[in-house]
Structure 1
Amino acid sequence: MTMITLNNGVTLPALGFGVFQSPAEETAAAVDTALRTGYRHIDTAAAYFNERQVGEGLRRSGVDRADVFVETKIWVSDYGYDQTLHAFDKSVRKLGTDRLDLVLLHQPVPERFDTTVAAYTALEKLYEDGRVRAIGVSNFMPHHLAELLRRTSVVPAVNQVELHPYFTQPDVQKANAEHGVLTQAWSPIGGITFYWDKDGTGRSTLQDPAIGAVARAHGKTPAQVMLRWHLQRGRNAIPKSTNPARIAENFDVFDFTLTDTELTALDALDTGVRGGPDPDVTAPERFEVVIPEG
């Protein structure tokens, strides 16, 4: 397993396992399968409403907790200093562990950025107290990151953002690199995206001819090629699935190497079109989401 060293010296596997949109009733089995397959990094979030099942899957697998890098995210309705400290307590109770490896703020929330800063200050306190090994952010654009750095003390270890061949966010990657922040890719194979060409035909990364050609050259699937692309570009990728065969397939990416030409070809597929929500768009309804107690 390839490992990545964060800016505070903590290491994590380059390939993780995500549970975004995984139904609660399927999550424990998926996490158990992933850990038995060889994954040692699990990414969840309070707003996924499956932290409890992630903890169950971890225990069911029999893998030592110390050998698994567990990551979660604080949702925006729990932002604020005291609120975020309490949100952390809710998450650890559900996950069944008293210490987490990485905690992120789920969104920048530019319309209430003072609250975002207060939430991050709470993460700094948790980090200082040793209750979390690293802290970071998710969906932060360069201007969000710059403002956070100006108003806080601990440089985020990670910025988790939408990133796949059709949306590479080079400006975000550049800003992250300049500050020593690891770029972590959600939707790393473009699974939530579907793009329409000018003639009205739909396409996805999984059917892209250029990716398909690279996959055939290596005897791999398009998904495996995209994950390998992330790893060779120095990113952390967190694919998700509840299908045991797909879970195993996504992990089978350590026995081949893409050429520089192939990496550049995948880089060139960027459309600049975001598939997920825009972090700068105000969405008041997200503050109405209530994260249950642990």
Structure 2
Amino acid sequence: MKAQPLTDFQRLSINDATTKIQLTLEEEIRLYAEMGIQGISIWRDKLAQCGVDRAAKLLDEYRMTVTGLCRGGMFPAATAQGRQEAIEDNRRAIEEAAAIKAQCLVLVVGGMPEGSKDIAGARQMVLDGLHSIIEYARSLQVPLAIEPLHPMYAADRACVNTMAQANDLCDEVGEGIGIALDVYHVWWDPDLRHQIQRAGKARLLGFHICDWLVPTQDMLLDRGMMGDGVIDIPQIRGWVEAEGYTGFHEVEIFSAENWWQKPAEEVLTVCKERYLKVV
């Protein structure tokens, strides 16, 4: 079942990685709003450069909805001290998300510690880390959104690679945790529809869109604009919305050699055009 065509931009959000090179956070907030885009997802490095208080004021002034703060996670480490430092950093991220009224804190959970070959052990560290921060997240009313990453990142970025694994973690941790579904990472999974159904409305905290290019020139920095690759985005959106998801559709494009080299206004214009045409 494919989703119905989109006719306006009320649910369009831009992850500010999409204009990572061109704009500061303050410039992004102003430009996105001027172009009729009311959703933004923010990376913590840009938030730090702007300042949390300044960003919160600007977001309120321009009536922007923060669809996510990127990122928490990165739990596995070779030492107990390293794991504790990750937990402390996640607590700071939760505080930042609360301050800017983010709808969720996106978690890229981390891969295996340097020198390790124990992926099961890394996954246990992720679960332990989630248990260590969930009560604090609940107290500040910040939902945690696990983002499964494509298996090519299993070693270094995220040892949670499927919706099934993310659902299992949600089962273990309980209230206050869900999933950020990024089509770039999960489009290939033959069990995707079933796992979206398993997640249901309560767990689907984010829906991220871009496209998978063939060939892909860089694992991290060669994502495609919607419609330029092989992902059937309307089909996946249809599955998500069949479960009751009514949140934003967040464009997140890492593109060092293409879209990051273009003026931000041009990038956002194409995002809007493709959003109505192919999403």
Shared fold per TM-score greater than 0.5: yes
In structure 1, what is the equivalent of residue 151 of structure 2?
A: none
SS for the counterpart of 1:157 is: strand
Alignment partner of 1:125 out of 115, 127, 135: 135
In structure 2, what is the equivalent of residue 4 of structure 1?
A: none
Are residue 138 (structure 1) and residue 147 (structure 2) matched? yes
Are residue 30 (structure 1) and residue 42 (structure 2) matched? no
Q: Is the 8 A contact 2:41 2:250 kept in 1?
A: yes
Q: 1:64 to 1:135 in 2, by over 3 A?
A: same
Amino acid in structure 2 at the alignment position of 1:100: A
Q: Is the 8 A contact 2:23 2:264 kept in 1?
A: no
Give the Cα–Cα distance (whole angstroms) in 1 for the partners of residues 39 and 129 of structure 2: 24
Amino acid in structure 1 at the alignment position of 2:108: H
Cα RMSD, aligned residues only: 4.3
Identity value in percent: 7
Alignment partner of 2:192 out of 172, 182, 186: 172
Shift of 1:159: 2.8
In structure 2, what is the equivalent of residue 3 of structure 1?
A: none
SS for the counterpart of 2:12 is: coil
Aligned residues: 218
1:1-294 matches, cutoff 5 A? 14-20=11-17, 22-23=19-20, 26-28=23-25, 29-46=27-44, 49-53=45-49, 59-60=57-58, 62-64=61-63, 67-76=65-74, 83=85, 86-91=88-93, 97=99, 99-107=101-109, 109=111, 110=119, 111-132=121-142, 134-139=143-148, 140=160, 141-154=162-175, 156-163=177-184, 167-180=187-200, 181-182=203-204, 184-186=206-208, 188-190=209-211, 193-195=213-215, 231-234=237-240, 237-240=249-252, 243-251=264-272
Amino acid in structure 1 at the alignment position of 2:23: E
Amino acid in structure 2 at the alignment position of 1:106: V
Q: Which runs of 5+ in 2 are unaligned?
A: 1-9, 112-118, 149-159, 217-222, 242-247, 253-258
Shift of 1:35: 2.8
TM-score, scaled relative to structure 2? 0.57
What do the CA deviations read for 1:19-53 (whole angstroms, capped 9, x no partner)?
Answer: 2374467232233311332333322344xx32335
SS for the counterpart of 2:140 is: coil
Give the Cα–Cα distance (whole angstroms) in 1 for the partners of residues 56 and 269 of structure 2: 17
Q: Which runs of 5+ in 1 are unaligned?
A: 1-12, 197-203, 212-221, 264-294
Shift of 1:174: 2.4
Q: Is the 8 A contact 1:19 1:44 kept in 2?
A: yes
What do the CA deviations read for 1:249-277 (whole angstroms, capped 9, x no partner)?
Answer: 42357867x8xxxx9xxxxxxxxxxxxxx
TM-score, scaled relative to structure 1? 0.55
SS for the counterpart of 1:154 is: coil
Q: 1:116 to 1:153 in 2, by over 3 A?
A: same
SS for the counterpart of 1:104 is: strand
Shift of 1:113: 1.6
Give the Cα–Cα distance (whole angstroms) in 2 for the partners of residues 90 and 130 of structure 1: 11
Q: Is the 8 A contact 2:144 2:177 kept in 1?
A: yes
What do the CA deviations read for 1:46-87 (whole angstroms, capped 9, x no partner)?
Answer: 4xx32335755664463246x544433214158888545532
Amino acid in structure 2 at the alignment position of 1:87: D
Give the Cα–Cα distance (whole angstroms) in 2 for the partners of residues 156 and 174 of structure 1: 19
Amino acid in structure 1 at the alignment position of 2:15: G
Amino acid in structure 1 at the alignment position of 2:33: L
SS for the counterpart of 1:26 is: coil
